[in-house]
Amino acid sequence: MKANRKFIQADEHAVSAVIGVILMVAITVAIAATVYVYVSGMLGGTKDQTANIACITDLGTNRITITSAGANIQWKDIVVIPDNTTVNWRVYDPSHNPLDAPKSTSNATANIAAGDYVELDFTAHPGMSGNVKVSLRFVPTNTLLGSWTITV
């Protein structure tokens, strides 16, 4: 009996079990909140898609042909910018069907696909010579996708 009393007397200055449990729960909640804030900052929200388009030029037909394009990028999100604004241009699908009115992509709801092309029309400018630089810009992120030169 005396042996048990020695251990009981030595534990009189300890923290109670209830306080210990409350401290452990508070520490666990604080760690979980810290991890949540860290992870949610890394994930972020959904961001605008960055367009990825590759093109080649065909000088014989005055075309800029799409060779590859990222998924779900629509022509209406692309602005075609020739450095000579008097040159007519139009966007076509691989079957040679126009996707919108001349000098416009604002109503073209089709996704960009390999084989689509931008055709420059120089018939209104007989005798025109030199280079026409055409740039494509992705509107949602205001990103320049590239510039291609057609030699007239």
**143 domain residue, yes or no:** yes
Query: Do 138 and 101 reside in the same domain of the chain?
Result: yes
Tell whether 48 is covered by a domain.
Answer: no
Give the mean pLDDT of the chain: 83
Residues 8 and 31 placed together within one structural domain of the fold = yes
Domain count, the chain: 2
Same domain flag for 81 and 114: yes
**Domain housing 72:** 53-151
Question: Which residues are bridge partners to 151 per DSSP?
Answer: 131
Q: Does the pLDDT at position 48 exceed 80? A: no
Collapsing DSSP to helix, strand or coil, 69 comes out as: strand
pLDDT > 90 fraction of the chain, expressed in percent and rounded: 28
CA distance linking residue 110 with residue 74, whole number of Å: 6
Q: What is the largest CA-CA distance in the chain?
A: 117
Mark whether 144 and 101 lie in a shared domain. yes
Read off the pLDDT band of 7 (50, 70, 90): low
